[in-house]
Amino acid sequence: MLQFTQEEMLAIRNKVTNSVLNRLIEDNKMVISNQTLITPDNRATWNLYYFCPEHAVRLDWRWDKPTEHCCPIDGKAFYGEPYDGAWWRGLNGLNSKACYELGLLWQLTQQISYFEKVREILLGYAKHYPDYQPHGGIPYNGPGKANAQTLCEANCHLDFVRGYDFIREQLSVEDRVYIEKRLLREGAEFLIEHRADQLHNHEMKTSATIGVIGLIIDEPEYIDFALNSKYGLKYQLAEGVNSDGMWFEGSIHYHYYALQALLAFEKVAYRTQYSVHADPNYYKMLAFPLSLLSATGDFPRLNDCIAGQEKLSHSHLFEFAYRQFDDPLFARALINIYQHSPRDNLDALLYGVPDLPVLPPLLCQPQHAPTSGLTKMYDEQSGNMLLLKHAPYGGEHDHYDRLGLIICRNGREILPDIGTTGYGAELHYGYYKNTVTHNTLAVEQENQPPAIPVCLDYQQTSSFTFVDTLVDWSETVLELDSHTIKQWDDETYTNVSYRRSILWLPDIAIDINQVLNPHNKQLDLIWHVRGELCVQQCWQEVNNPLNGPLNRMHSCRQHSIQGLQSYHFDIQEQPKFHFHLYSLQNSTVLTGLAPDNPATQDLSYLLLRNKETSFKAIAIYDLTLTQSITVDCVEWKNDFIRLELTQDTVKKKIEIDLENAKILLS
């Protein structure tokens, strides 16, 4: 066994708890208690098809219902494809996971039934695997054999080979040869053939699996390919991680997914000459995202992030990382994780130190990371936070929301990034992934093209924080070394530029928007609020005038605005949220309701619409819980802005000189 020495496994056996054993048994109950079922052909497709098309939630997977797939929200059943094929993908996942976890149970308990089940699964797949036909058609992905994409193939083989490692010494020579030749080598060769030439988290997982197979069956050619070939693990670390330590795709979920792949390799390789421990980007990838925790206690749902993936729950990374690096930062990450669950899990058992130090948990903190294009402003006393995304385009898993923002009031997201759902669900490409479902600028309701925003200025003082950013779609962007499908409109955004400047005070944020629009396109500054707009007399009911993703918006109203207008939103379990909007030119405000995530409830949308060649607007976010702020005056002349505010009879004057980046508070 390569994953653990005999001494290590003996120590693990001596400290394993009944709760861990029972959880392993319960998590694999369907495989243990049923006759081994293996797909006889290439009918398995994609697990991300297994989502309700209406509510965008995962369907209930049932062992005994391979042709009936029910929504957990309303019980509606779905039949046929793509759900049947996705069901079989779920079965492959259960079987491969059982290989690893029941193999471990065999090592922990020496109960022969677990050994026999793993052997049966491995021999069953070895029987069929060479005859599975490559198939695919999944966006952005290469084909699979047992499954419909190369990534799924890698995920299954990683568990197959680690389970094999647990039982190999008890197998006959004949069984070993059969499994290694027909399953593990066949799988590695297929993955080598279909690993794409791109920077991507998929290629991290594919390379890691090839490398782990190479380590466990002692095949140096596989290890060398996994580590040293172009687009292998070392190349991905060198080219896919920026100087902050952020993975280029810009999604915190996929950052950790890529890192999870790397650690899957490192957990087997760390005692060998093939360890990546010394690569500085390995450590930085572990550390950097921890600085991005939101005021909610979770990560922001930047780019592709399915509900739940925003949680700091990565014990499988940080138990091993803390043991390997002995860094208090990783201990604090574990302390966060175990605030809500006991430290009685598989990761702590296999890789954890005996006791964690007594340290404070990680909290939200201000952060300015211009390379990663993320600026987070935070007031600890109030729990208010604003995050501005001025990140470069990150490819497949990015969303088209340059200069998008997230706002939290008292630890609750009120202007959220709503992430996405399963990629096979219509709402992913049809709604969540688009520019118009983010708090940013859209032109003609089309998606923003790839761009690299610039940070013009950043100031942080004891009184305020100021960040000034610009995205200019007339600038040429080098093609990303990662496969993408064009889902934007270059022509619509020709020569458009968008400058967004944020002045942050503890209880108020001033959001200054300037758009150059030389071809008089339809501009929409978009906000969506997790609350209900209080309707005022100025609103007129209208039919939804929008095409594209927001054509599903309902209960639409609009009114004209020039100058200052205030809006008020009822927020669940909080006082009203007061949102003040100033438009320098005569504009239209459109409001309506459209899906939140999950799509079982709605958000309130507010769109400020204009076609001027030079459009200027200010949004003022009142983040107080009591003693709300009144906006008495807004003046904007050339690059000089003056505001007068009142809070509890106290007058405040704010002057912003955009040309010279000067802020005066009085």
- Residue 450 counted as domain residue: yes
pLDDT tops 90 at residue 623: yes
pLDDT digit string, tens, across residues 60-117:
999 999 999 999 999 999 999 999 999 999 999 999 999 999 999 999 999 999 999 9
pLDDT tier, 627 (very low <50, low <70, confident <90, very high otherwise): confident
Q: Which residues contact 587 (CB under 8 A, 6 or more apart)?
A: 560, 561, 562, 608, 609, 610, 615, 617
Share of residues in the chain with pLDDT > 70 (%): 100
User: Is residue 201 within 8 Å of residue 249, measured between CB atoms?
Assistant: yes
Predicted pLDDT at 368: 98
**Which residue in the block uniquely carries the two structure tokens 């049923």?**
34
- Residue 377 counted as domain residue: yes
| DSSP collapsed to 3 states, 121-153 | HHHHHHHHHHHCCCECCCCCCCCECCCCCHHHH
State the average pLDDT over residues 45-69.
94
Structure tokens at 114: 């677990």
State the average pLDDT over residues 248-253.
96
- Residue 156 counted as domain residue: no
pLDDT tops 90 at residue 41: yes
Query: What is the DSSP track for 514-551?
Result: EEE-TT-PPEEEEEEESSEEPP-TT-EE------GGGG
Structure tokens at 506: 């503890």
pLDDT tier, 56 (very low <50, low <70, confident <90, very high otherwise): confident
pLDDT tops 90 at residue 202: yes
- Residue 294 counted as domain residue: no
Predicted pLDDT at 140: 84
pLDDT digit string, tens, across residues 337-375:
999 889 999 999 999 999 999 999 999 999 999 999 999
- Residue 114 counted as domain residue: no
Residue type, 407: I
Question: What mean pLDDT value characterizes the chain?
Answer: 96
How many helices (DSSP H) and strands (DSSP E) are in the chain?
Answer: 17, 23
User: Is residue 71 within 8 Å of residue 53, measured between CB atoms?
Assistant: no
Residue type, 151: L
Q: Which residues contact 295 (CB under 8 A, 6 or more apart)?
A: 364, 378, 383, 384, 385, 408, 411
Structure tokens at 418: 């709503």
Q: Which residues contact 554 (CB under 8 A, 6 or more apart)?
A: 544, 592, 593, 594
Closest CA to 538 of 489, 588, 578: 588
- Residue 315 counted as domain residue: no
Q: How far apart are CA 132 and CA 125, in angstroms?
A: 10
Predicted pLDDT at 538: 86
- Residue 408 counted as domain residue: yes
- Residue 159 counted as domain residue: no
What phi and psi, each to the nearest 5 degrees, are found at residue 349? -65, -45
pLDDT digit string, tens, across residues 571-606:
999 999 999 999 999 999 999 999 999 999 999 999
Share of residues in the chain with pLDDT > 90 (%): 95
pLDDT digit string, tens, across residues 287-304:
999 999 999 999 999 999
Predicted pLDDT at 648: 86
Based on the structure, what is the number of domains in the chain?
A: 1
Domain that holds residue 556: 367-665
pLDDT tops 90 at residue 434: yes
Query: What is the DSSP track for 56-122?
Result: --B-B--TT-TT-EE-TTT--EE-STTHHHHHHHHHHHHHHHHHHHHHHHHHHH--HHHHHHHHHHH
We report the CATH number of the domain holding residue 451 as 2.70.98.70
pLDDT tops 90 at residue 435: yes
State the average pLDDT over residues 260-282.
97
pTM for the complete prediction?
0.94
